[in-house]
């Protein structure tokens, strides 16, 4: 079986753990002091160390650090009679596999030991990703499916000129990344690239954000300010969620596209700009035109060239490459080393419906890496994360469209805080203007207070 070292100053605990684990077939070494415990650790190199936080001669956390820094593949299970938050956090921060409180329960000890041994076995048995690692590029579109190859061809063609581009696709498909790749590979790549999310700016300020304003143009305009068009210069301006442009601003924006001229809010001087315009939306603009919510002439002016980004469910064969890319990126950003996958993980990921597309896949992998107790991502952890994500949505993803999911989530959050918009924006992690825009977009109504 396995070698297990127990370091605790309570004789009864040493004897009971030795007897219990010995009956399970493990070889148990025991020590009542930190110094002796470290000596036994280096002598026998046990797979598991069960370590008390408070010892007569040393702090158990310091012993944990010594064990972790040695390089021996050992899982340390901390035990303590003191249930304080700071110690628990510090132990996990220093690399403890698990943390069990006294009085010890035999089932808890056995479960922790068995799981730790299973993970050690997976570390040994799970192969490293095949093929040489390529240098990580912070912005790259990953995929070898036919639909993505067609997208790459279109990007290549668009890099040769400055035609206006409309990128359409569901939320999370990577529309801004495509816009950045078009800019980066063009002859104007050294010029600025600016982004304006039309859904995140309150309607009354959107014109100023786009065209700029002069001093005194409105209350609070104490200085003149250039807009994104002016800042972009000869580079690229990416307008995300262009379908959120109010109708009155759509006409002014169309005028700029036709003449490359504009005026700041409150200004009299006609300015010129040659920036390239790339827009994106997750809405069906043609349908918005039929409903009278989007100008037909602007729609056709924007879609000089149209790129449709496929949802992840339509390019599932790209998932292995995406996983490898994201794991490399996540490990670099978090300072972790979780690069292996238990057998069955890729297959499970390819079975998922991915309503949140590539962005959802990356988020799932970030959580899996954070939760990993070794260099291997476990299938059961991935299953738990995917199930948890589905259960967060009433009825699951499969019965709701993404806009319906977002609307219901915002409405439920508003209800939970009595309709307080500031608290709701904080909980959702968005700005107050973005929340107001979403409330208006989805026509969210709270029964007890009427329209918001």
CATH number at residue 62: 3.40.50.2300
Say if CB 162 and CB 345 are below 8 A apart. Answer: no
pLDDT of residue 451: 40
Confidence grade of residue 434 (pLDDT, cut at 50, 70, 90): confident
Report the pLDDT averaged over residues 183-205.
Answer: 91
DSSP E strands in 175-275: the ranges are 193-197, 212-213, 225-226, 236-240, 261-262, 271-272
Q: Which of 90, 125, 160 is the last residue of a domain?
A: 125
The Cα–Cα gap between 251 and 211 comes to: 13
Cβ contacts of 294 within 8 Å, gap of 6 or more:
243, 245, 247, 250, 285, 288
Same domain, 382 and 416: no
Number of domains in the chain: 4
The Cα–Cα gap between 343 and 337 comes to: 18
The Cα–Cα gap between 368 and 323 comes to: 12
Q: Does residue 414 sit within a domain?
A: yes
Tens of pLDDT, residue by residue over 111-135, are 999 989 988 888 887 766 654 455 5
Q: Environment class of residue 305 by beta-carbon count within 10 Å: exposed (0-12), middle (13-18) or buried (19+)? A: middle
The Cα–Cα gap between 307 and 169 comes to: 8
pLDDT of residue 211: 95
Q: pTM, whole model, 2 decimals?
A: 0.73
pLDDT of residue 417: 77
What percent of the chain stands above pLDDT 70?
Answer: 92
Confidence grade of residue 20 (pLDDT, cut at 50, 70, 90): very high
CATH code: domain of residue 419: 1.10.10.60
Q: Which of 365, 391, 417 is the last residue of a domain?
A: 391
Phi, psi of 58 (to 5 degrees): -145, 160
Same domain, 299 and 150: yes
Report the pLDDT averaged over residues 376-385.
Answer: 92
Same domain, 296 and 366: no
Q: What domain range includes position 99?
A: 3-125
Confidence grade of residue 10 (pLDDT, cut at 50, 70, 90): very high
pLDDT of residue 220: 81
Q: Does residue 259 sit within a domain?
A: yes
pLDDT of residue 410: 85
Question: Mean pLDDT score of the chain, rounded to an integer?
Answer: 88
Same domain, 367 and 248: no
Q: Does residue 134 sit within a domain?
A: no
Asked if pLDDT for residue 392 goes beyond 70, the answer is no
Same domain, 153 and 290: yes
CATH code: domain of residue 217: 3.40.50.300
Same domain, 357 and 385: yes
Same domain, 171 and 254: yes
Q: Does residue 342 sit within a domain?
A: yes
Report the pLDDT averaged over residues 426-442.
Answer: 79
Same domain, 189 and 72: no
Asked if pLDDT for residue 228 goes beyond 60, the answer is yes
Asked if pLDDT for residue 258 goes beyond 80, the answer is yes
Where is mean pLDDT largest: 27-36, 217-226, 329-338?
A: 27-36
pLDDT of residue 93: 85
Q: Does residue 138 sit within a domain?
A: no
Q: Does 415 or 104 have the greater pLDDT score?
A: 104
pLDDT of residue 400: 46
pLDDT of residue 403: 64
CATH code: domain of residue 318: 1.10.8.60
Same domain, 151 and 289: yes
Q: Does residue 130 sit within a domain?
A: no
Tens of pLDDT, residue by residue over 315-356, are 999 999 999 999 999 998 888 889 889 989 999 999 999 999
Q: Does residue 131 sit within a domain?
A: no
Q: Which of 292, 308, 324 is the last residue of a domain?
A: 308
The Cα–Cα gap between 191 and 234 comes to: 6
pLDDT of residue 449: 44
Same domain, 203 and 186: yes
Q: Does residue 132 sit within a domain?
A: no
pLDDT of residue 139: 75
Same domain, 153 and 302: yes
Q: Does 151 or 84 have the greater pLDDT score?
A: 151
Same domain, 189 and 109: no
């Amino acid at each position: 079986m396995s070698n297990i070292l127990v370091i605790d100053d309570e004789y009864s605990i040493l004897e009971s753990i030795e007897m219990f684990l010995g009956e399970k077939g493990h070889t148990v070494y025991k020590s009542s002091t930190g110094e002796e415990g470290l000596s036994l650790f280096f002598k026998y190199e046990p797979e598991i160390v069960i370590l008390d936080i408070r010892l007569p001669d040393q702090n158990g956390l310091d012993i944990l650090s010594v064990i972790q820094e040695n390089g021996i593949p050992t899982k340390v299970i901390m035990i303590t009679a003191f249930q304080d938050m700071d110690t628990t956090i510090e132990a996990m921060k220093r690399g403890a596999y698990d943390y069990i409180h006294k009085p010890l329960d035999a089932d808890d000890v056995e479960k922790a030991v068995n799981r730790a041994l299973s993970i050690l076995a997976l570390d040994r048995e799970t192969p490293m990703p095949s093929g040489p690692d390529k240098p990580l590029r912070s912005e790259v579109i990953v995929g070898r499916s036919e639909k993505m190859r067609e997208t790459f061809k279109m990007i290549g063609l668009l890099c040769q000129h400055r035609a206006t581009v409309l990128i359409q696709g569901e939320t999370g498909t990577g529309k801004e990344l495509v816009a950045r790749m078009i800019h980066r590979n063009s002859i104007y790549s050294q010029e600025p690239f600016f982004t304006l999310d039309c859904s995140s700016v309150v309607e009354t300020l959107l014109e100023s954000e786009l065209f700029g304003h002069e001093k005194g143009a409105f209350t609070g305009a104490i200085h003149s300010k250039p807009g994104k068009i002016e800042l972009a210069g000869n580079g690229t301006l990416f307008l995300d969620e262009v379908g959120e442009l109010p109708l009155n601003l759509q006409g002014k924006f169309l005028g700029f596209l036709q003449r490359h001229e504009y005026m700041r809010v409150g200004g009299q001087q006609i300015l010129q700009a040659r920036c390239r315009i790339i827009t994106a939306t997750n809405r069906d603009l043609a349908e918005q035109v039929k409903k009278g919510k989007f100008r037909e002439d602007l729609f056709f002016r924007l879609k000089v060239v149209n790129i449709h980004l496929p949802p992840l469910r339509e390019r599932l064969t790209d998932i292995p490459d995406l996983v490898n890319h994201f794991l490399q990126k996540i490990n670099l950003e978090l300072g972790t080393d979780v690069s292996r996958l238990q057998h069955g993980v890729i297959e499970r990921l390819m079975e998922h419906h991915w309503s949140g597309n590539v962005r959802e896949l990356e988020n799932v992998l970030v959580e899996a890496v954070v939760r990993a107790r070794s260099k291997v991502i476990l299938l059961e952890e991935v299953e738990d994360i995917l199930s948890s994500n589905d259960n967060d949505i009433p009825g699951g993803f499969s019965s709701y469209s993404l806009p319906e999911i977002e609307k219901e989530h915002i409405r439920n959050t508003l209800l939970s805080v009595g309709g307080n918009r500031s608290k709701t924006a904080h909980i959702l992690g968005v700005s107050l203007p973005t929340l107001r825009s979403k409330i208006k977009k989805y026509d969210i109504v709270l029964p007890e207070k009427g329209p918001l």
